Amino acid sequence: MKLSIVLSTQPAQFEAATFKGDLETNLVQIASLGYDGVELAIRDPKLIDLDVLDELMRAHGLSVPAIGTGQAWGEEGLSFTDPELEIRSAAIERIKSHVPVASHFGAVIIIGLIRGIVKSGVDHAQAMGWIVEALRECSDAARPQGVRLALEPINRYETTLINNTTEGLDLIERVGADNFGLLLDTFHMNIEEADIEASIRACGERIFHFHVADSNRWYPSAGHLDFKSILTELNATGYQGWVSGEFIPKPDAFTAAVENINHLSRL
Ligand code: LER
Ligand code: MN
């Protein structure tokens, strides 16, 4: 099982971006703990220097299994479902602009809250139609570069658009792209799935990436989820990807990262 942890390359409001702040200091800490990679939360690829980033990853022996894109929503309000065409188009272009970075690192592009929320004046079916169109366009742009996209079902308190794995699998059918799959996050699954293990089984080979946080969104072992059972089920699907820690940096990022790797390694 390859372990990574979420690190933001820019200041971010998102609470569960475990590591924020000075990039190199964080990479030194993450590598020293035995992590194999970092999941980079990148607001806008224009804000990073890919050569510098690549050099840093090499220097610390870290891979980049996934790129989080949600800050374009959280910090800038871009989404696939905004009533304004210009904003929807900007969201699609932003996702496409991650493709060269993802291709460089062999990373999955995460589609989280950039899908948006149902805004007033828009109905749910219209919003879903926009999401399908956007994902077809982005998957088509990513495929020639060998890049995959993973949509994350997100709990009802953050959006009403694709909250659970059943809706995620339906969306996969509608989009109809071989390089489009799901990112499962145990924090959201704990809220939305009737049976976490059964949902993992149902998603099977469409699981492209995996986030771990406990029921309270602290590091695994701080809440009441059974990670032994969850990861056994994930493994049984034949999943060859990464298990990425995305939890609140409490009591602090370093301690949370230590507790996570200790707990998961014991299982
Ligand atoms: C991002 O991976 C996530 O899990 C969401 O809660 C972001 O809002
Ligand atoms: Mn997540």
pTM of the model: 0.98
The atom number, within ligand 1, closest to the CA of 185 reads: 4
pLDDT per residue as tens, the chain (267 positions): 899 999 999 888 889 998 999 999 999 999 999 999 999 999 999 999 999 999 999 999 999 999 999 999 999 999 999 999 999 999 999 999 999 999 999 999 999 999 999 999 999 999 999 999 999 999 999 999 999 999 999 999 999 999 999 999 999 999 999 999 999 999 999 999 999 999 999 999 999 999 999 999 999 999 999 999 999 999 999 999 999 999 999 999 999 999 999 999 999
Q: Is the shortest distance between the CB of 185 and ligand 1 below 6 Å?
A: yes
What is the distance between the alpha carbons of residues 88 and 83, in angstroms, rounded to a whole number? 8
Q: Tell the residue number behind the tokens 């870290």, with chain if given.
A: 62
Contact in structure between 30 and 62 (CB atoms under 8 Å): yes
Q: Is the shortest distance between the CB of 116 and ligand 1 below 6 Å?
A: no
Q: Is the shortest distance between the CB of 57 and ligand 1 below 6 Å?
A: no
